[in-house]
Chains A and B, each alone.
Chain A
Amino acid sequence: MLAESLALTAALFIIGVIGVLVHRNAIIIFMCVELMLTAVSLTFVAFSRFYGTAGQVFVVFAMTVSAAEAAVGLAIIIAIFRHRRTINLQDINLLKG
């Protein structure tokens, strides 16, 4: 049972990673990062099913943090859009060596 759960979360995580790597739109990348976070939360839940409730506590934490992170992240994206009229990450490359 655990193996199947972990396979599912791993698949979700990898989808998230690939989404981050291949997309250029900041919003989509942001959603893919959320997907990775969710995959990790799901892993915690799966483990807590077999090894006690500590995992669920972590999930609550993770959801709180990701909510805050979503607020800040979206605010930044909106600010960038207002400034540059684009949220394509390839065009946002001022900070470089």
Chain B
Amino acid sequence: MLLQAVAASGAQPHPLSGTIAEWIWLLPLLPLLGFVINGLLSLNSAHFGPADPSTTTHDASSEGAAEASPVAHGEEPGAGADDNHSVKRHRWAGVTSIVGPGVLILSFGLAVAIWQVMASAHPEAPFIQRYFSWMPVGDLQIDAAIQLDQLSMVMVLVVTGVGALIHIFSVGYMRDDPGYPRYFSYLNLFVFFMLVLVLGGNYPVLFVGWEGVGLCSYLLIGFWFNDKQNADAGLKAFIVNRIGDFGFLVAMFMLFANIGVLDFVGVNAKALDLGAGSALVTTICLFMFLGCTGKSAQIPLYIWLPDAMAGPTPVSALIHAATMVTAGVYLIARSAALFSLSPVASLTVAVVGAVTAIFAATIGLKQWDIKKVLAYSTISQLGYMFVGVGVGAYVSGMFHLVTHSFFKALLFLGSGSVIQAMHNGYHATHSTEDAQDMRNMGGLRRYLPVTFVLMWIATLAISGIPLLSGFFSKDEILGSVFARAQGSTLSSASWLGIPGGTLLYIIYGIGLAAAFLTAVYMTRMMLYTFHGPTRTGSEEEKYLGEAPWVMTGPLVILGILTVIGGWLNLPKVVTDIVGVGPGELLAHFLDPVVGSATARITAGATEIPATTEEALIGAAVVIAVVGIIFAVARLKPANVPRARDAIPETGFEGVVAHKYYVDEALDRTVVEPTYVVSRSFLWRFVDNGVIDGLFVNGSAALARTFGWIGSRLQTGNTGIYAWSLVVGVLLLLGAITLR
């Protein structure tokens, strides 16, 4: 295989060949190995029985399933004191605790080593390893190939790095779940597919990873499948994603039909053959974007992500916030050569992103489930990323993807700590209160001080408070939108009759508004969770406590990354003023991959003056600060009733609290008609009537009828046989001679 790789790259060896980058295949294989080991362990009999069979014990699996928020049984000293529930830890939990996170840490180590080589070599061309021919069909030549370039390197570092931290956190969060090895086998499999997705050298290989992460998402959302609600949520995610995948597939077919190649290098080289701004390239891009809206939860296919919160919280952090849902952003950055050719498609991406950002942010304002707030926040932030890649600021989009993976993973894992503490409390008192409802929280800063501080850092980062990572990345996206509103290829295009320039100013305004709402709903979440009086209950308060180090450790690391993540790509205007370090590191790093596409979009764009840029940054900061102050001033955590005493919101607030009734509307317009058509037409008529009745029973009846007729001819009278023989011969003879 090495010979093939050298032969393919021609006489000039790639700067990365012969280095540790040759070991790139090991990167996805390590998590796959973890999947196999943990999967085999999970097949081994479930768990230790109770220590004393006569003790009445809760069955951990059925109890966990029956609760609204099933969380692993905690291990805090307080939790077990007068709680005689035996914890049904899996027999192989110890092995899984080492293998599960271990393979990820090894992968991350390898990724860092490869990154170091790459950073010093700074290759202009992607490093491609072809392992074998996968689909040689006529003109269609698809290899099982890995493509390593700066873009996939960034994604690999995020996936393995943040993934490793979340795996470590999961050890604390899930250790006492009876399905612990199964959980880690799914999680490892997810990382394997995610690495296939970001390392694939052509669209079909990427698609394998794309589908694989969807499968793992489904498996993990429905991890506690004893509860039908969770299983349904998994199903919903899977089905909604299928709609998007259809778009992605169509885009691939059209690419192959028109330029005959599907590998990224080939597509980049031949993209111009499609014609800049042609209807064809726009159609391809829009179909591809349909796939992105499914995977990355954008309007109209965002509806699965809030439901996906039914899975374990670390899963929400890894799959439904930090990595998988960003695959759509990655795909557009990866296909920058195509999208930069179609201003209409690019503007569509930006518009959908902006509308999603503000729409999800408004819903986030009225959610009481702590994970639902974060889910809508994720959708909103993904919208930001799509605004970034939509306006051709591929680096900014990727930058926000990276910083978002830091602070959103931190927020989700922090909420995991909170939920576990709450669960311990309610578990100890056998209460059936909702451990995820913020109305039952309040004042938790006294019990979870580390989580409290770290989550405030992440909240400030996502709101866009200066010097934290989210500030730089979000500001860069908004700045790019503003800069492209004049003189770029986007501003001269028109979208549904609206001039591109005007549209970009509108998008910028929506972005600012969404930033304001982000600051409000995140502050609201923090206030209700950590401030004010404790509403958990006096008995339960004794059991609230900080999580063990194995959970807080990853939180601390993510907190550090959240603070310093912005240094990855300091904007020029900041480095000029402050005079610190080299700026735009990520932009330089990614330049070989997306540089030419960005240049195509910005062709003719005027550089916005530094004073304007400073004013824009100032406006964004003011908006974030005002949002936080507004939330602090308006919201009174002391006056919030507990969940069971709550009065439902009315009027517009009620509409928002019910997520604009989108799910209900879709139920009425799509799901129920589908049921009705399926039941009355497809089932009763087509399946029962046509297929069972006409085809299956019909052919049987036909055969029976002909058999009956044939059997009547068999009279047993030899004379009649002889007569028919002779008549037949005469007829034949007559037919032959008289012809």
Binding site for B on A (CB under 8 A): 17, 20-21, 24, 89-90, 92-97
Which of B710, B712, B716 lies at the interface centre, i.e. has the most chain A CB atoms within 10 A of its CB? B716
A95 to B719, CA, bound (A): 13
What residues of chain B lie closer than 8 Å to A90, measured between beta carbons?
A: 717, 719
Complex-state Cα separation, A94 to B712, whole angstroms? 14
Q: When the two chains form the complex, which single residue of B710, B713, B717, B722 contacts A93, counting CB atoms closer than 8 Å?
A: B717
Name 12 interchain pairs, CB-CB below 8 A, sorted by A: A17-B726, A20-B722, A21-B723, A21-B726, A90-B717, A92-B718, A93-B718, A94-B716, A95-B716, A96-B715, A96-B716, A97-B714
Q: Are B726 and A97 in contact (CB under 8 A)?
A: no
Which residues of B have CB within 8 Å of A97? 710-715
Residues of A within 8 A of B717 (CB): 89-90, 93, 96
Q: Which residues of B contact A92 (CB under 8 A)?
A: 718
Flag if B716 contacts A21 (CB, 8 Å). no
Residues on B with beta carbons closer than 8 Å to the beta carbon of A24: 719
Please name all residues of chain A whose beta carbon is closer than 8 Å to the beta carbon of B714 when the two chains form the complex.
95-97
Residues of chain B within 8 A of A21, CB atoms compared: 719, 722-723, 726
Taking Cβ atoms with an 8 Å cutoff, the residues of B that contact A are 710-719, 722-723, 726
6 nearest A-B residue pairs (beta carbon): A97-B711, A96-B716, A93-B716, A97-B714, A89-B718, A96-B714
Known: A20-B722, A96-B717. 10 other contacts (CB 8 A): A21-B719, A21-B726, A90-B717, A90-B719, A92-B718, A93-B715, A93-B718, A97-B711, A97-B713, A97-B714
Give B714's nearest chain A residue, CB to CB: A97
Q: How far is the CB of B710 from chain A (nearest CB, A)?
A: 7
CB distance from A26 to the nearest CB of B (A): 9
Contacts of B722 in A (CB 8 A): 20-21
Determine the distance from Cα of A90 to Cα of B717 in the docked complex, in whole angstroms: 6
B726 to chain A: which residues have CB within 8 Å? 17, 21
User: Which residue of the partner chain A has the closest CB to B712?
Assistant: A97
Question: Which residues on A sit within 8 Å (CB–CB) of B719?
Answer: 21, 24, 89-90
CA distance A96 to B719 in the complex (A): 13
Q: Which of A20, A94, A97 has the most CB of B within 10 A?
A: A97
Tell me the complex Cα distance, A20–B723, Å.
Answer: 9
Nearest neighbor of B710 in chain A, beta-carbon distance = A97
Whole-angstrom CA separation of A89 from B723 in the bound complex:
14
A94-B719 Cα distance, complex, nearest whole Å: 14
A94 and B718 CA atoms in complex are apart in Å by 11
Q: For the complex, give the distance between the alpha carbons of A97 and B716 in Å.
A: 8
The chain A residue with its CB closest to the CB of B717 is: A93
Alpha-carbon separation in the docked complex, A53 to B681 (Å): 75
Q: Which residue of A lies closest to B709 (CB)?
A: A97
B716 cross-chain contacts in A, Cβ below 8 A: 93-96
Closest Cβ–Cβ distance, residue B104 to chain A (whole Å): 74
Minimum C-beta distance from A85 to chain B (A): 18
Nearest residue in B to A18 (C-beta to C-beta)? B726
Give Cα distance in the complex from A40 to B722, angstroms.
18
A92 to B717, CA, bound (A): 7
Q: How many Å from the CB of B45 to the closest CB on chain A?
A: 61
Alpha-carbon distance between A97 and B711 when the two chains are bound, in angstroms: 4
- Bound-state Cα–Cα, A17 to B729, Å: 12
Bound CA–CA A16/B712 (angstroms): 28
- Bound complex: CA A93 to CA B712 (Å): 13
Q: Which residues of A contact B712 (CB under 8 A)?
A: 97
Cα distance, A96 to B718, chains bound together (Å):
10
A17 to B726, CA, bound (A): 8
A28 CA / B458 CA spacing, docked (Å): 111
Report the nearest A residue to B730, measured CB to CB: A17
Q: How far is the CB of A21 from chain B (nearest CB, A)?
A: 6
Closest beta carbon of chain A to B723's beta carbon, Å: 6
Residues of B within 8 A of A96 (CB): 714-717
Q: CA of A90 to CA of B716 in the docked complex: distance in angstroms?
A: 9
Question: In the complex, what distance in Å separates the CA atom of A93 from the CA atom of B714?
Answer: 10
Q: Point out the residues of chain B lying under 8 angstroms from A95, CB to CB.
A: 714, 716
What's the least CB distance linking B712 to chain A, in Å? 6
User: Chain B residue with minimal CB distance to A96?
Assistant: B716
Instruction: Report the minimum CB–CB distance from A94 to chain B (whole Å).
Output: 6
Using CB atoms, name the residue of chain B closest to A33. B722
Q: How many angstroms from the CA of A90 to the CA of B721 in the assembled complex?
A: 12
CA distance A42 to B7 in the complex (A): 83
How far does the alpha carbon of A21 sit from the alpha carbon of B711 in the complex, in Å?
Answer: 22
Report the separation of the CA atoms of residues A93 and B713 in the bound assembly, to the nearest whole angstrom: 13
Closest B residue by C-beta to A89: B718
Pick from B713, B722, B726 the residue with the most CB of A within 10 Å. B722
Q: How far is the CA of A90 from the CA of B723 in the complex (A)?
A: 14
CA distance A11 to B711 in the complex (A): 35
Q: How far is the CB of A37 from chain B (nearest CB, A)?
A: 15
**A86–B712 Cα gap in the complex (Å)?**
25
Nearest-Cβ distance from residue B703 to partner chain A, whole angstroms: 15
How many angstroms from the CA of A94 to the CA of B714 in the assembled complex?
Answer: 10
In the complex, which residues of chain B have a beta carbon less than 8 angstroms from the beta carbon of A93? 715-718
Taken together as a complex, chains A and B put the C-alpha atoms of A57 and B716 apart, in Å, by 37
Minimum CB–CB distance from A39 to chain B (whole Å) comes to 14
Distance between Cα atoms of A67 and B714 in the complex (Å): 30
C-alpha gap A93/B540 in the complex (Å): 94
Closest to A97 in B: B711
* A89 CB → nearest B CB, Å: 5
Residue of B at shortest CB range from A23?
Answer: B719
Distance between Cα atoms of A5 and B237 in the complex (Å)? 90
Q: Once bound together, how far apart are the Cα atoms of A27 and B723, in whole Å?
A: 18
Residues of A within 8 A of B718 (CB): 89, 92-93
Q: How far is the CA of A21 from the CA of B715 in the complex (A)?
A: 16
A13 to chain B, nearest CB (A): 11
User: How near does chain A come to B606, taking the closest CB pair, in angstroms?
Assistant: 95
- Distance in angstroms between the alpha carbons of A92 and B711 in the assembled complex: 18
Considering the chains assembled together, what is the distance between the CA atoms of A46 and B717 in angstroms?
36
Which A residues are in CB contact (< 8 Å) with B713? 97
- Nearest chain B CB to A96 CB, angstrom units: 3
B82 to chain A, nearest CB (A): 84
A64 → B minimal CB distance (Å)? 25
Chain B residue at smallest Cβ distance from A95: B716
Question: In the bound complex, what is the Cα–Cα distance between A21 and B722 (angstroms)?
Answer: 6
Tell me the minimal C-beta distance from B187 to chain A in angstroms: 67
Residue of A nearest to B719 (CB): A89
With both chains docked as a complex, state the minimum distance between the C-beta of B719 and any C-beta of chain A, in angstroms. Answer: 6
Q: Considering the chains assembled together, what is the distance between the CA atoms of A93 and B722 in angstroms?
A: 14
Q: Which residue of A lies closest to B718 (CB)?
A: A89
Q: Which B residues are in CB contact (< 8 Å) with A17?
A: 726
A29 to B723, CA, bound (A): 13
Give the shortest distance, in Å, between B314 (CB) and chain A (any CB): 73
Q: Which residue of A lies closest to B723 (CB)?
A: A21
Q: Which residue of A is nearest B727, CB measured?
A: A21
| Complex Cα gap A1–B726 (Å) | 29
Smallest distance from the beta carbon of A30 to chain B beta carbons, Å? 12
Query: Min CB distance, B72 to chain A, in Å?
Result: 72
- The distance in angstroms between the C-alpha atoms of A24 and B723, with both chains bound, is 13
